[in-house]
Amino acid sequence: MYEKYSRQALPSKKYRELLGSALCVFNSNNQFVIENVLRLDNSKYNWYELIDKTSGELFEPIKETITNESGTEITILFSELVSIRNRIVHSFQITENDNQILRTKNNKHEQYNITEDYLLEFIRKNEELSDMLNKFRGSSIQND
């Protein structure tokens, strides 16, 4: 598919919508994690430093704040989502059945397509993390 703004072949509009939505919900959660870290310890961390970190670089501040306060459940899911997001961002475009789609690989160099179902599952898992962060924020506010 082509658009007026690009001569390069693009995936379908629905696929691009899901791709954009997947990145947006991840970015929202990334900021929600930073918000929770800062709420727990704004003496050691500040927004300017945390916002400049990659998602992977947030694991230490998360461990020292959120994990220390609530256990590993949020950290484990965030870590999984960071890995999936990285696979999406570092994917490559292919043509399959006359359609454009993204493909990625795992650490064993096995390739797989980033399908609409894959993106929907990523969005669903981000919703789960958002719910966990919301619950955590609510419970830790009550404990303050």
Quick check: helix, strand or coil at residue 71?
Answer: coil
Q: Model-level pTM? A: 0.90
Q: What is the pLDDT of residue 141?
A: 54
Q: What is the pLDDT of residue 4?
A: 77
Q: What is the pLDDT of residue 112?
A: 97
> Do the beta carbons of residue 136 and residue 74 sit within 8 Å?
yes
Parts of the chain with a pLDDT under 70: 1, 139-144
> Do the beta carbons of residue 20 and residue 13 sit within 8 Å?
no
> Do the beta carbons of residue 50 and residue 40 sit within 8 Å?
no
Q: What is the pLDDT of residue 64?
A: 93
Write out the two tokens for 101: 């789609």
